[in-house]
Chain A
């Protein structure tokens, strides 16, 4: 009777059931079910699929953000990077490349470099991540003034278009991309020494350094990853909207942080998992969608949105005590 709970497998099941990521998944499911009763159409397959597709953009941005937060930092430049990615991609179209892959790779390289510069500032200049990435965001605004509106032709990049619109086997390509990225992220995070170094750096950077963790290069890598995934999100969001514009990335800054924390990752670093961020991202788009269909004045909607996040935080976001 009680036997299975004490068996090794049973313990693992219990551990999963009581883990933060699972809790967040359960909340998402509960909200979906409740909302389906409240609003017809909410629970339609197409709608849920659309929510997950939207979640993919937040999820991609939040993938890098999760790395950075676990490593003890924070990246406030993700929104600007998403915008830079979506704006600069149309500027790069090469006739020689019919697939559209080359410009995408070039843009991802660019955003990764932006991330690496963040990392350089944090690791070598020892500027606090919040300041470094905030300054970087300001910087990128300047860059945007130069490049924005520079493209006289709409970018018809086949790869980008496919990402934003295709549905192989009924599943949006963006969601497939997210699934692939999630698998890689979870593997890197939890099954490689690199991932372990990140957790160590976040929990206690000094002890990590004294244990031989190459702090500088790991920091660089973490911010580079964040630049990369934000760039990827920019490509996806460009595909979904058919057109980039200044401000296209703005919603993703706070959303990425909220998804990370709602997923149970500690904002203090050293603890957490992307497995929680994934449902966290879906939870956020779900709440936004719910608020949209509620008929209320803007003020009340805003209050409702904040209260929902706060309520969910009570369920899933408790900080563990530390010393």
Chain B
């Protein structure tokens, strides 16, 4: 019994090979599928090292209540670690605390939970995302002009954080007028519809602050279809958007929520179980895509699904470096 195991929730009574539970919120979207791919690849590696013997996957079908039940089942079946994308930033807090109390390593990534009863949280900084995107756009339109803001679904922390992150920059530039804001799922079709309507309502648009997912592709398509000139636009690493970016010669900037967050979470869980100290929060620096490196990304495009995301490369070295940061 290693009484002073370093990381939170870890009691040190669990021995390799470990069983890892992946409590996914919804496994059908392509982003999730890609993420699962990185987790499975990582688990294969860890299996070879004799550290993991099983990966248990649950899919809450989008329902945060079901996710709670499934995490409970993971606790009941005594998995050694749970990696988790939360369906709600608050809902699973209590069940996670239970798991933590039972000495299960909990690595929460992508959509985070408002509790510190986890071994580690792994994510990019949503607020910084909004801030950097706003910076780029305001810069690109010369510090003044009329913009649209496209944001993800309402009532969800991630979209709310990204939007709030943009506030400071917007405030600092009173000459930037926000014509309209929308909340849609992070998908092409609803964004295209919304932007088309906004185009007709607003004859003059200088830029589009798009805060993730495939929203930007929808906006570009809308401009294109209505015969309007493309304007500076921010976005994420959705393959369709990156391809449109190149094709239309956009003035753009994109960042990403790398799919390898999943692999990294699995890696971190095992490290923690092995008694290593892991930071309570691993901040993943936002990889930036701009005109300087877009071609590198597009060169790898064929390895990714057409409706998927082209993520930055990763390896164990990167993981080690991330874990070492304080």
Contact = CB atoms under 8 A, between A and B. Distances in A.
- The reply to whether A and B meet directly (CB within 8 Å) is yes
B308 interface: yes
Nearest to A164: B225
Interface size class of A (residues with CB under 8 A): 35 or more
B91 interface: no
Given A242-B221, A251-B190, A90 B198 contact: no
Contacts of B164: none
Interface in B132-191: 154-155, 180-183, 185, 187-190
B127 interface: no
Contact of B308 (A149, A285, A289, A298): A149
B288 to A, nearest CB: 24
Given A41-B200, A293-B198, A243 B28 contact: no
A145 interface: yes
Interface string B294-311: 000000001111111000
A149 B200 contact: no
Interface in A145-166: 145, 148-155, 165
Interface string A81-92: 000000100100
A305 interface: no
Q: Which of B190, B192, B197, B214 has the most CB of A within 10 A?
A: B197
A54 B193 contact: yes
B30 interface: yes
A247 B189 CA distance: 10
Contacts of B190: 251
Given A241-B188, A289-B197, A247 B29 contact: yes
Given A243-B307, A244-B307, A152 B302 contact: yes
A151 B29 contact: no
Interface string B273-312: 0000000000000000000000000000011111110000
A99 interface: no
B60 to A, nearest CB: 12
Given A44-B200, A154-B306, A293-B198, A288 B193 contact: yes
Interface in A275-306: 285, 288-289, 292-293, 295, 298-299, 301-302
A145 B189 CA distance: 20
Given A46-B226, A154-B240, A298-B154, A247 B200 contact: no
Nearest to A144: B28
Contacts of B193: 54, 285, 288-289, 292
A288 B61 CA distance: 26
Contacts, number: 117
A149 B221 CA distance: 21
A125 to B, nearest CB: 24
A83 to B, nearest CB: 9
Contacts of B181: 295
A50 interface: yes
Contacts of A301: 183
B302 A153 contact: yes
A145 B201 contact: no
A293 B201 contact: yes
B170 to A, nearest CB: 15
B197 A47 contact: yes
A295 to B, nearest CB: 6
Interface of B: 27-30, 33-34, 61, 154-155, 180-183, 185, 187-190, 192-194, 196-203, 214, 217-218, 221, 225-226, 240, 243, 302-308
13 contacts: A42-B200, A148-B29, A149-B30, A154-B240, A154-B306, A245-B29, A245-B30, A247-B185, A248-B189, A288-B193, A292-B193, A293-B198, A295-B180
Given A149-B34, A154-B243, A295-B181, 5 more contacts: A40-B201, A141-B61, A149-B33, A246-B307, A250-B185
